[in-house]
Structure 1
């Protein structure tokens, strides 16, 4: 049953993403885990970029949908933070909330429904408008994303072992990362799969020291330093950068909520100017447009940023 649902939904997604938007995809040409580590290695001459929070949240394209990621990639290169959750029959689907009410035509808890039942629902966009798009499984998303982008799995209700298994089963270490909130969580994954790259919470010098104490290789870490572009981050940036670590600020709970577009543009640019290498934003397309003037004229990292052939 699951294989039939997967095949049908992949066919639907292929049709929708081919027809819903025009223009080539901005793809990240990252072929394996070693290339992914190189992509995230801080050099001081890197290309700043956007990570779409919950897959990027833009009008008409529901969060955590394949169509939302595809839409963003029609405008800019990006990685994407997404939210895995378990169904009643233990399939991993993508849904930020534990409940269905806000983002789908369903009601109640995600975990009270089977995959087949969830596939009957339609997704809503940021304005609450019902779309024709359906809830994807994580496996569908992983297969779609290969050769296009990098997925960053947030920590929800999926057991660590299931997350590790789906990455290994799909040989996805080159385009799927795992969010870890502590050095001990990173150690759990690293002991089981030395190829996995992390979006790691490193908000303080103490946290940095904990990752070093657990001997997590800095080559495997991109650091999330928090939601605020504050001056106090400067020494943390310096300590992480000299270890070859890129730093990321998430604007979803802060600057994305500014009501004025000009103020948001100023905020996005300031984040990069003050030392972050990338921005995780709800407004993925808008944030990418804002930082365009800050892109270097040349960079060794240019080899990763490609346009897909039509």
Structure 2
């Protein structure tokens, strides 16, 4: 079975869409499918990362018009026999999907916004806050299959291994700083400057992606602090999350990863499409949101860190709440069965 995944990464979009699609693609490949990615060559794309994971990846020229994007995609699909197109992209909606439908048997959409129509046969939304799920009734075909809720979380296998070793946090002595794969608003360095104002010494793991614009400053800060370590473009994030007592991060897909491992977090919104995830996570008591990046100051971050250190009970409740949201069972195989025709 041939399956195409249309998704993108960039400095603005981040890497979350591509990374969760890679998780799904690897499981589909294990079950015998051939997976082809189609990605735009946006600044900060992950085309080489996808290829390094063993997948064919076709690139298209970036465009801001849906029809041009659809036509470029169709030019690739014409030479293939495709059973499914899987779409994980906030800029794609039913217009694009109807344009490419003649070139595939079925369409799957991964979404967590519920803010536009989709012409799909299968919808996956594992958003923490389920209050918007009813909105899909008017946004997708009535006969489309809906996989909704946190049990359908797309996580790499190492997160399920780390979950077995994760415990409820009861103190804030070890901090993980990770603002996503791109850190588009430069929050990492701001957090490190805030840590210089914190009275208590704590261990710090700092994670950044390749070609971070402030990499030299971040590495220099870590070199100057014996209790700090800088990690670049790593493949062991689950281990770092499991080892940490609390985290500071963005509100993208890493929100789910942290919560799955019971890791409390201070969250900074670095893109507008993170608002729903952040609001839902805060309402469930698993994060403390500082708001949009442009309103967050070094002083604000310092105060939040000190609050976590001084109030271990709140940290414990946050960790317990996070653990309670997600089942330990990996339902990734169930998702692939829906795609590949199993029961």
Give the alignment's TM-score, normalised by structure 2. 0.26
Give the alignment's TM-score, normalised by structure 1. 0.28
Higher relative contact order (CA 8 A, sep 6+): 1
